[in-house]
A = this chain, B = another copy of it.
Amino acid sequence: MGVNTGNEIKKKKIAVLGATGYTGMELIRLLANHPGVEITFVSSESHAGAELSEVLPQFYGINNMKFSSLEIEAIPSEVEFVFCALPHGRSMEVVPALLNQKKRIIDLSADFRLKDSSLYPKWYERNHLHPELLLQAVYGLSEIYRQEVRETDLLANPGCFPTATILALAPLLTENLVDLKSIIVDAKSGVSGGGRSPKQAFHFSECSDSFKAYRVANHQHTPEIEQELNFLQAGKLLPHQENRPGSGNATITFTPHLLPMNRGILATSYLSLRQDISEHELISCYQSFYQEEFFVNVLNFSTLPETRWVRGTNFCHLGLRLDKRNGRVIVISAIDNLGKGAAGQAIQNMNIMSGWAEETGLNSAAVVP
């Protein structure tokens, strides 16, 4: 006699495109434990025809599917949700065909995150193939755009750094307390954020036991962060609303660094306030803003975030300090770059799009140590 695990309900069918990258692997891992879904199609250009659990032995006993090649027509018609974990630039090629097939798309690339198509050539070195879809896409930072997420068929899942940064700043921005010119984000990411393709910079002996900054003042997540900070400052108007009076004009300084570890982002954000508040008021502001949120944990004052506490999860931990000697606010946010920063939030969005409890399939604690 087994335990009733609720498996008898009818499950939604899911496809994962680009399943052998780190984001794809994380989607498969998390979806395998989701009671409402069944993965029925996984694509891999490099391993089409092979068994998933031979290529990725961590799935032995968990998932014994075979990889298909990436052909949109081959995706079964009963598939409702398609997770695109394809490289940037590749998603925009396949999304229109998927929309034609009435799929609901959760795209984990950057291809549909920016509303202003002119930013793509500037920051991603390519023109957008379908700028007309940018305003249609919903930016899937779940805690901010929950209403819009529910209805969309084209969800642009946020970047890892933007997720950590926006959650760190949203309460103060929403209260219009931030001097927008003052924002500095010093972010640190584990190496899995750089993808799975072998590169010199991510060769073990080049980044192990070392630490560096990279793409200083030049990282492609900068416009994504600024877009959303400005929307928040403007009262979180829907992005397609024409008139955005008072819209912010944040021009942040964003510095990413590479941590000698696999997973995790810790972002340390600095900002000046437009009025004095106490450290107590600061923490209250955050606790109030996030009090209904399952995945955002405002740590009490005795604790500061550590990336290990969110490893493998969809949680975001926030720590707050007021530098009383100069009035500056320091917000520290920790997420898993593959969790809340990618696959976890994608599934949270699927839950919202399906009308399910947001934590469904995502309520596991971090693997510590």
This protein's copies in its complex: 4
A332 neighbours in B (Cβ, 8 Å): 213, 216
A319 neighbours in B (Cβ, 8 Å): 213, 216
Confirm or deny: A74 has a beta carbon within 8 angstroms of a beta carbon on chain B. Answer: no
Task: Choose, from A51-59, A111-119, A167-175, A238-246, the stretch at the interface.
Answer: A51-59
Q: Indicate whether A266 sits within 8 Å of B211 (C-beta atoms), given known contacts A6-B4, A202-B204.
A: yes
Residue of B with least CB distance to A199: B198
| Chain A interface mostly | loop
A304 with B260: CB separation less than 8 A? no
Residue of B with least CB distance to A203: B198
Confirm or deny: A41 has a beta carbon within 8 angstroms of a beta carbon on chain B. Answer: no
Confirm or deny: A121 has a beta carbon within 8 angstroms of a beta carbon on chain B. Answer: no
Once the chains are docked, how many angstroms separate the CA of A196 from the CA of B35?
A: 34
B297 with A61: CB separation less than 8 A? yes
Size of A's binding interface in residues, CB under 8 A: 109
Q: Indicate whether A304 sits within 8 Å of B262 (C-beta atoms), given known contacts A35-B3, A58-B365, A196-B205.
A: no
Once the chains are docked, how many angstroms separate the CA of A212 from the CA of B304?
A: 7
Residue of B with least CB distance to A260: B261
User: In chain A, residues 321-344, which have Cβ atoms closer than 8 Å to a Cβ of chain B?
Assistant: 321-326, 328, 330, 332, 334
Residues on A lying within 8 angstroms of B by beta carbon are 1-6, 9, 22, 25, 28-29, 32-36, 54, 56-63, 181, 184, 186, 188, 190-192, 196-200, 202-214, 216-217, 251-253, 255, 257, 259-264, 266, 268, 270, 294-295, 297, 299-300, 302-313, 315, 317, 319, 321-326, 328, 330, 332, 334, 355-357, 359-361, 363-369
